[in-house]
């Protein structure tokens, strides 16, 4: 995947989560260093250790990985995690923002609870704003690097930011007003910061998965009884995606092969938004 720089991944502590898959993918793809930031710092340390083993097995013995506590809804904690990244590695080449919550309990708008709505937006929307804002400031001050010397077109970049949206960034899933609203807002943050950051050589993209086999989906199954079968019926490929399939897309959008792509909302959904399963 031609990743050569330093990666900062939020939400990398989820057991079998998307952020964790991204951390391991960065380690295997040749990243020089990784900072895993999560509200569950013990799990983030575990991911950092697994990433070191993955890098060693992929012949990247100089790879370094650390973990840091972060609550993405808290600006001071985001600031200090980003400062730690810069102190550890000198720069942030790739940021993947995967920290988020499913925002339950779910249910129709008529019975929805405003405090659950605000809590979901606080983590998913304000957290995305804070990460994008503070990481952009750090990237803007660093020297651009040529990240693919073999390319016909020189590929200079100050950094890339990849944000986890969802297919619910573009469509509505019934009974999930807080999650749908948050994911629609996230695509707005992603597109706007992509335009704002063009002149700084920073690309910002969003990934919009449908249902991926992670603990977050399990949480949704628990919160919405009977969700599993209709959910699978709505995916033409008839299965959940894997965290590794999302990580592949995150690394593509973080690396030089996507050098002309910014502000996109890349849908990874097994065909879900195309229509009914045949
Ligand atoms: N799993 C899916 O089907 C799916 C589909 C579309 C989009 N997504 C999005 O992908 C992202 C990752 O989802 P996942 O399925 O890997 O979830 P996950 O629960 O496995 O991982 C989320 C991680 O975020 C961390 N986290 C939660 N709140 C935090 C906070 N305030 N500050 C810092 N860290 C916090 C958790 O500790 C966890 O490690 C989320 O943004 C989610 O909305 C997931």
- Please report the DSSP string for 55-80 in residue order: HHHTT-TT-EEEEEE--TT-HHHHHH
Residue 189 token pair: 């943050």
What pLDDT is recorded for position 225? 78
Q: Please name the residue whose Cα sits nearest to atom 19 of ligand 1.
A: 216
> What is the C-alpha to C-alpha distance for residues 232 and 94, in angstroms, rounded to an integer?
33
Helix (H, G, I), strand (E, B) or coil at 49: helix
Each residue's pLDDT tens digit in the chain (278 positions)?
Answer: 589 999 999 999 988 999 999 999 999 999 999 999 999 999 999 999 999 999 999 878 789 999 999 999 999 999 999 999 999 999 999 999 999 998 878 889 999 999 999 999 999 999 999 999 999 999 999 999 887 667 766 678 999 999 999 999 999 988 899 999 999 999 999 999 999 999 999 999 999 999 999 988 887 788 777 888 988 999 999 999 999 999 999 999 999 999 999 999 999 999 999 976 55
> What is the C-alpha to C-alpha distance for residues 224 and 181, in angstroms, rounded to an integer?
18
What pLDDT is recorded for position 276? 61
State phi, psi for 169 to the nearest 5 degrees.
Answer: -75, -20
For ligand 1, say whether the CB of 215 is within 6 Å of any of its atoms.
yes
Distance 98 CA to ligand 1 centre (A): 6
SS3 percent helix, strand, coil of the chain, rounded to 5, is 50, 15, 35
Is 81 in contact with 37 (CB distance < 8 Å)? yes
For ligand 1, say whether the CB of 268 is within 6 Å of any of its atoms.
no
For ligand 1, say whether the CB of 14 is within 6 Å of any of its atoms.
yes
For ligand 1, say whether the CB of 13 is within 6 Å of any of its atoms.
yes
Catalytic residues: 179, 183
DSSP label of 36: E
What pLDDT is recorded for position 106? 84
Q: Please name the residue whose Cα sits nearest to atom 26 of ligand 1.
A: 99
What pLDDT is recorded for position 104? 77
Fold of 6-274: Rossmann fold (3.40.50)
Which contiguous run of DSSP H or E holds residue 267?
strand 265-268
Which contiguous run of DSSP H or E holds residue 202?
strand 202-209
> What atom in ligand 1 is closest to the CA of residue 215?
20
**Residue 215: CB atoms within 10 Å:** 12
Query: Distances from the Cα of 170 to the Cαs of 47, 125, 165, 173, 232, in angstroms?
Result: 31, 15, 9, 10, 19
- Please report the DSSP string for 128-158 in residue order: HHHHHHHHHHHHHTSPPEE--TT-SS--EES
Query: Distances from the Cα of 266 to the Cαs of 103, 187, 258, in angstroms?
Result: 22, 10, 12
> What is the C-alpha to C-alpha distance for residues 178 and 174, in angstroms, rounded to an integer?
11
> What is the C-alpha to C-alpha distance for residues 188 and 169, in angstroms, rounded to an integer?
9
What pLDDT is recorded for position 227? 81
Residue found by looking up tokens 């490929």 in the block: 237
Q: Please name the residue whose Cα sits nearest to atom 11 of ligand 1.
A: 98
Q: Please name the residue whose Cα sits nearest to atom 20 of ligand 1.
A: 17
Torsion, CA 119, CA 122, CA 128, CA 130, rounded to 10? -150
What pLDDT is recorded for position 251? 98
For ligand 1, say whether the CB of 99 is within 6 Å of any of its atoms.
yes
């Amino acid at each position: 995947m031609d990743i050569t720089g330093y990666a900062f991944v939020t939400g990398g502590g989820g057991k079998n989560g998307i952020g964790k898959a991204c951390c391991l993918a960065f380690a295997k793809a040749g990243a020089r260093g990784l900072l895993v930031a999560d509200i569950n710092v013990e799990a983030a340390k575990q991911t950092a250790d697994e990433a070191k083993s993955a890098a060693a097995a992929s012949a990247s013995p100089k790879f370094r990985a650390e973990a840091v506590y972060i609550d993405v809804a808290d600006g001071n904690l985001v600031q200090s995690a980003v400062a730690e990244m810069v102190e550890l590695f000198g720069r942030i080449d790739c940021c993947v923002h995967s920290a988020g919550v499913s925002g339950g309990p779910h249910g129709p708008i008529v019975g929805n609870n405003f405090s659950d709505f605000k809590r979901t937006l606080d983590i998913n929307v304000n957290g995305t704003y804070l990460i994008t804002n503070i990481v952009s400031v750090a990237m803007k001050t660093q020297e651009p690097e040529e990240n693919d010397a073999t390319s016909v077109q020189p590929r200079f970049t100050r950094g890339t930011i990849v944000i986890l949206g969802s297919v619910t960034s573009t469509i509505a899933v019934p009974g999930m007003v807080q999650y749908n609203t948050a994911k629609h807002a996230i695509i707005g943050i992603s597109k706007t910061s992509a335009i704002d950051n063009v002149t700084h050589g920073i690309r910002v993209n969003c990934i919009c998965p449908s249902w991926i086999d992670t603990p977050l989906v399990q949480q949704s199954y628990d919160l919405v009884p009977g969700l599993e079968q209709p959910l699978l019926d709505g995916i033409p490929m008839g299965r959940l995606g894997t965290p590794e399939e999302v990580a592949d897309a995150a690394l593509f959008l973080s690396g030089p092969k996507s050098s002309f792509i910014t502000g996109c909302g890349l849908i990874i959904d097994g065909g879900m938004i195309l229509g009914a399963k045949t």
